[in-house]
Every structure is written in structure tokens, then in C-alpha cells.
Chain A
Amino acid sequence: MSASQPVPAAARLFLSGNEAVARAVWEAGTRVAAAYPGTPSTEILEVLAKYPDLYTEWSVNEKVALEVALGASMVGARAFCAMKHVGLNVASDALMTMTVTGTEGGLVIAVADDVGMSSSQNEQDSRYWGRFAHLPVLEPADSQEAYAMTRAAFALSERFRTPVILRLTTRICHVKGVVVAGEREAVEPGGFTKDPRRWVMVPGNAKPRLPLMFEREAAVRAEAENSPLNFRVDGSDRRIGFVTSGPAFMHVREAFPDAPVFKLGLSCPPPIESLREFAATVDSLLVVEETEPLLETELKAAGIACHGKDVLPRTGELAPDALHLGVARLRGEVVAEPEHVVPQQVFPRPPTMCVACPHLGVYYTLSQMRNVMIAGDIGCYTLGAGHPWNALDSCISMGASMGTALGMDKGRGKVDANKKVVAVIGDSTFMHMGMQGLLDITWNRGNVTVLLLDNRAVGMTGGQDNPGSGRDLHGEETTRVDFAKLCEALGVKKERIRVLDPYQLPVLFKALREETKIEEPSVIITDRPCVLIDHYVPTKPYLVKEDRCTGCGNCVDVGCPAIHVIRRDKEVKASGKEVDLSFVRIDTSACTGCGLCVQPCAPEAIIHAEPVQPLQPMQFVRK
């Protein structure tokens, strides 16, 4: 049964943590929910959008999403926003003031940490934001708790007039478990009360609110000491007592079923006195926390002796195998060799771009260029850093390609003087955080060529809509941004903005060469939709006429996963130089006839698999 069906209370649903949070947000009578997609948090809003009776949106970035939620809270509505860990960095500017104003309607911020880094540029611990902003942090351990704690978070938020952070991790978001759910509450917004001393944060108004913030923090601390969200599980083996939170709790229980455990649900501010009492009942205390030794440091500062990162891994998930090793280390035991067979070394299988992806041509072209420095960004097109293109020199954070490229341009010395600087960015990323960087490039007269890869989707997270797709979270038609005009408005000269088809390799190559030669900001917009998102009408597939194939391998360099090497050979040229040959075959069941591989094929060995009408341009039909 899906998460979005209104089901009677006590139904047993099989929900991911994300689905469970969405269910609880809806049940809590929330009126407004906003997010920017980011793994592993994306599905919360996707699921929530299917529920009736609340407003949901994709925002252009997490800061805006949080601001939308705060506005709703100001008028007394329950509000929610979701993001991945790096998104909270973006939203932090708004967060650090909301902690001072406080909230009216319950406001819950779900933050999904990518512990173990399945798809992120860093591993960071969002619990720090709770400490930094003096906000309560709740940490569920599975889907049922994700559901229950989301409900509890709204109540807590309203009792203390504070935003509440719900810290999720990949092993909450993307784990499915059995959830007993309830029904939607009717919650009517209390209405907006004008109160500039509270809502207008100029210094004179903010100063008297700081003591209130610390009073609130003290009150939440007292709550944490007595909250049922923090509980003890008794155990007969009192040699080691565990203090833990989140999914690590399940791992501890799995690995050491007989050990006493203090489980933190409301973990910030931590219930230090209750933990001190617990510590007195065991021989030694082991803090099992993902990712940072945050609580461990707090306990030590409070004079409570404990172990933690001295025996446990500093990064990644704390699954039972890591715990067994850590505890063995703590007890000074020799670790037994595992009984299972040794993992076999098999070739890596990194993610790759899709068959006929419009980015393939862009990276093929970039890989053919010499003397370029290429600043990359966050999205599908980050895969251009991999084989066979190797066409990215940096990737930092969302929107960072613009500023990085400008810095490369301004900072370069003689050794890089003749190099061209290129920045690559996607459509959604550009609107999320890239626009300001482009403005900085034009304003400061940077010599950067920007490749704006418009595929009309947030491709990496599954093709969500954005202002470039002209559709909202619900798939309904809305304003569609005109990137050429937008870039012009940001200061790029009209004649330096080109919109072209990334499947036309010679056109793309010529444009890149020309624009990188001219010493002023330029933008090349490639305009073809993501092949996974819009209804894509494939043309006839191609095949390789094997008697014509010379093994040049040019088509392999395009990087399309539908091209397979069936035979390798070596050829000795007249000059004595040895050349590797790759004879190929096209997987006709996967090929969509985009024609990218045809263009670099020297001997014209790639032909249509069956006779076709005079070659039609590719067709894309919007949903």
C-alpha cells in the first residue's frame, strides 16, 4: 500500500523513512512544504506532493525552501522543509536568524545526511547545526520512528516556538520498514500577528531576543532529560554500556543484544544528567554516533568518561561489523578472521551517462580540446569527469563552477596564460546557485566560457522539474525561464550567447573554439531534454557494418553505453608506431538513433539498422 493513500489508523504500511516522514507531515495538518531535490532526501516532497490539502513546491534552492516554510509558520500554519546535508549549508543563513525569531506554526526541517557518501561530495554531520543554532534535533532509528518523531517534532516546535531539525541519514531515508500510521489532524493556522520586535531582525530587536533563545535552549534541555524519546534498554552484560542514536541504535542492538543501551531520540541538547546516571551503571561507556564525535566530546566535557572514535571508525556507517571490531579493540581482544570468502576483485562499475544523453556530445567535444581548464559542477554532468572523457578539472559544490572558473582565470600565472577557462553547469544548478556566479564573472570581466547544459530537469535525482522545465512539482505548466535572456540580463553580451544542439558535434566544437578565443564572458547553452524525462521518440537504431569498421575507436570515445568493443587488435604504422584498434558493435536494443557516434566515425561504418525515411531530426514530445 502506498504512502499517499489515506489509510485507517493502525494499518501496517511498508514505508521508506522518506515516505514515513511524508505521511507524518501530512497527518500533522501541515499546510506548506518545500524542498530542493537532493539524495537521499528527494522522495519526501515527491511523496508529499501526492497528498491532498497541503501546498507543496520544489524551491530553487534550500534557503528559499526554508524561507517559504518560515513565512508559513509566521502566519501560524504548520510548515515543513526538506534537504540533504549540503543543502542545510545553503539554508544556514536563514536558519541562523530563525533560531532568534523562533516560529509560530510548527516548523520541522528534515535534513538527510549521506553517511557513507553514496552520492555526495562530502560527509558532514548536520547535528552540528542544532548546536550551532541552538535548536532541538530529533534522530529516528527506522521508518516507524521517522513517522513518530516527525509527529513529535511538530508538537515540540509549537511548545517551544522553535524550528526543529529532524536528522535523517541514508539508512533512514532509503530503508523500508513496517509502519503503523494514523490519520490527518485538522490544524487551523492561528493567523499573523504584527510584531516587528520579533520578526524584524535589526540589531535593536535581535539583541533582546538572544537571552530568550538561551532560555528556550535550557527548557529543551530539561525536556530532553525526561523525554520518552530518550530511553534506556536494559541488558544483562554490563561490561559495556552503549550511548547511541539514529540507525546506529539498530546496529548496536543487532550486534550486542545483551548490552544496556541509552538511546537518544531528542539528542540536542543532550540529556547529560541522565547519561551520567546511565554511565554509573556500566563498567565502560561507548558512544556510537555517525559521523562526528560530537556527543562524545560533550560527555567528556561534562566529566563523563567514555570511548567513541578512539575505537570506532571515523567515517562511514557504524554497521554491526564495525561495532564488533570496535568493541574487540576496546576490550583488548584479538579480532577473529571473518569466516566468509574473501571479496573478489571485479572491475569497477562506476555510474555512467545514459544511452543518447545530450551531455555525451558536450563531453566528447570537451575531451577533444587542448589547453583548457574546466570547472565542473554538481549533477549528472559531473560524470564527465570519468572515462572516457576525463573532461572536468574541479567539482566543489552546487553552483561553484562559476566562481571557481573566475578564480582560475584571475589567479593564473604565466604557465597557464594560453589556457582557456570553461565552466560547466546544468540548468537547475544554474538557477539554484549559479546565477550569482555568472553575474560575478560578467561584472568583474572574467574571461570564462560557460557551458550551460539545459536538459530541462534535475537529472541526477531522477528528473524533477525546475523553472527551466516549465512545470512545477505537480507537473503543471508554469513560467519557463528563457536562459538566453536570463544570461543577457546577468550581463553577458547578446552576441556572446549561443543556443545550440549538443547532438551536432561540429557546430558545438566550432562554437567552443570561437567563444574560448574571444576574451570576454560567453555562454553556450545546449538545449536538449534529458532522455529519461520527456517522452522521447527514438529513431531507428544504428548498427556497425563490420567489414567497414577500421577499429579507430572514435565512437568509443563518445562514451555511449550502447557501443560495445567486440575485438581488440594492434596495428603497426609505417612510422613504426603501434596503434590500438577497437572493433565495435552497437547494442541495437538500447540504441535510440541519436547519431552522436556516427559523426566521429571515419570510415562511415555506422549505418541505420534498417532502411529509414530521409533522416528526420530527433523528435521530443513533451509529457
Chain B
Amino acid sequence: MSKVTNILVCGVGGQGVMTATEILAEAAISLGFDVKKTEVAGMSQRGGVVTSHLRFGPEVLSPQILPGEADMLIGFESAEALRWGHMLRPGGVALVNSGRIVPPVVNIGLFDYPEQPVAQMCELGLRVHDFDATALAVQLGNIRLGNTVMLGASSDWLPFPAEVLRDAVLARFGSRKPKLVDVNREAFEAGRRAVAGETLAA
């Protein structure tokens, strides 16, 4: 692979967007790539918008992905995926958690949450695959497994074997927390199964 791969991960502060991107970065590093990762997350701990940019390849200069240049968009929240849909390159793919996080400004009636964020993305001509990663994570026993589910779902679309990413996820918990390793392996495979059969457009 000679070119740089651009992955944009987006979501809401507190969802584990930055951790997930960090794991993707570790997988790329383990393969010897040059890697850069950056966030726009000044106040993200307070429920704001988070986007994490990951670029890897033989040599990476700028850390930022520009609009229309992302090979893959991993959206941890529906409306956030719609917000960042324009970052995808033609032929790129968006992987979207259909779960919703409704902010206070919508609750107090100042703004509306889009009715069908994913449908709106499809209308724009974007290639989207969505599933309820939040529900899957809750089924598996912990809403915080959502980011592992999303990583699992993305794993067969990456320019390296899914196992490399899975190992990077599991390495987070080491051998000291076997329970977490097991449940994360399960979450990873559940995410992977949820989007099985999809292939990355050329």
C-alpha cells in the first residue's frame, strides 16, 4: 500500500471515540506504518462533538483529514455521522451506530434532532452501513462495550487483517483482566458479525 489511509471517527464526548481511534492507531503502528492522530475535542468531556482523525501510510505529513478525503467514517452516533458525512471521499464508506444521543439543546426545544440521519446520508449518495451498536453493547452487558463493537464492525474494511485490530483491542486489557478480554473479544466479533457480507467499495 503506497497511499495514506484516512479514517475519521466521530461521536459525542464520553463515548470512547478517542480510545477507539487510539486502538486503531496502535494496530497501524504494529504493522510499521507512519501514523498520525489528532482530535478536535476541546470541550468534548462535556458532551460536545468529538472527531478523531487517523492517518497512516508510508509517510504521513499533515495530521488532518480534509473534507472529501476520508476513506472511512466511523460514526458512534447517528446525527454526528450525518454532521461529518461530507468528510467521506467518493467511494468511501460510513459505518454508523444507529443509536442516538439527544443533547439538552434539543430537549429544551431549541433545535430538532434529524428524523432519519442515516436515510439522509444515503440520499446524499453516501455509502452507509448502520446498525445499533449501543443496543448490542447493552445486550453484552455494558454500554461501554460500544466502541469495541464499532471497531469489530470496521475490522473487515481496513487495509490490514481484522485480527491485527482485534489483538490491539485485547492488548488494552492485558492478561491481568481476563474477564474484560473475553467480553471485549465477544463484543468485537458481535460487531463484525453485524456488518458481515459488506465489502469496501473500490
Contact = CB atoms under 8 A, between A and B. Distances in A.
A177 B35 contact: yes
Interface in B86-115: 86-90, 102-114
Given A347-B113, A556-B107, A556-B108, A341 B124 contact: yes
Interface in A84-135: 114, 118-119
A383 interface: yes
Contacts of B13: 351
A346 to B, nearest CB: 4
Interface in B116-173: 117, 120, 124-126, 143
Interface stretch (A208-216, A217-225, A262-270, A558-566): A558-566
B111 to A, nearest CB: 4
Contacts of A31: none
B16 interface: no
Contacts of B196: none
A171 interface: yes
Contacts of A39: 42
Interface string A334-366: 000011111110111111111000000000000
A387 interface: yes
A353 B36 CA distance: 31
A259 B48 CA distance: 38
A181 B148 CA distance: 31
B46 A176 contact: no
A175 B105 contact: no
Contact of B61 (A253, A344, A580): A253
Contacts of B109: 565, 568, 580, 582
Contact of B108 (A12, A174, A387, A532): A387
Contact of A347 (B12, B60, B103): B103
A247 B63 CA distance: 9
Interface string A167-194: 0001100111110000000000000000
Interface in B7-50: 12-13, 22, 25-26, 29, 34-49
User: Which residue of B12, B109, B112, B124 has the most chain A CB atoms within 10 A of its CB atom?
Assistant: B109
Contacts of B66: 319-321
B25 A14 contact: yes
B62 interface: yes
A82 B143 CA distance: 37
Interface in B58-83: 60-64, 66-69, 79-80, 82-83
Contacts, number: 168
Contacts of B67: 321, 338, 340, 343
Contacts of B39: 174
B191 interface: no
A347 B106 contact: yes
Contacts of A351: 13, 43-48
Contacts of B143: 589
A566 to B, nearest CB: 10
Contacts of A340: 67-69, 86-90
B95 to A, nearest CB: 17
A387 to B, nearest CB: 6
A319 B87 contact: no
B113 to A, nearest CB: 7
Given A175-B36, A176-B38, A178-B34, A347 B112 contact: yes
B80 to A, nearest CB: 8
Contact of A176 (B36, B106, B126): B36
B13 to A, nearest CB: 7
A263 to B, nearest CB: 12
Given A39-B42, A175-B36, A176-B38, A561 B86 contact: no
Contacts of B125: 341
A254 interface: yes
Contacts of A601: none
Contact of A341 (B69, B112, B126): B126
A309 interface: no
Contacts of B86: 340-344
21 contacts: A12-B29, A40-B42, A118-B42, A171-B63, A175-B38, A176-B37, A178-B29, A178-B34, A250-B62, A253-B61, A320-B66, A340-B89, A343-B86, A346-B83, A349-B47, A349-B79, A349-B80, A462-B45, A556-B107, A559-B104, A564-B107
Interface of A: 12, 14, 39-40, 114, 118-119, 142, 170-171, 174-178, 247, 250-251, 253-255, 317, 319-321, 338-344, 346-354, 380, 383, 387-388, 460, 462, 532, 556-557, 559, 561, 563-565, 568, 580, 582, 589
10 closest pairs, A vs B, by CB?
Answer: A340-B68, A118-B42, A119-B42, A351-B46, A347-B111, A351-B43, A254-B62, A351-B48, A175-B38, A254-B61
Given A118-B41, A174-B41, A254-B62, 5 more contacts: A177-B60, A251-B62, A251-B64, A340-B86, A557-B108
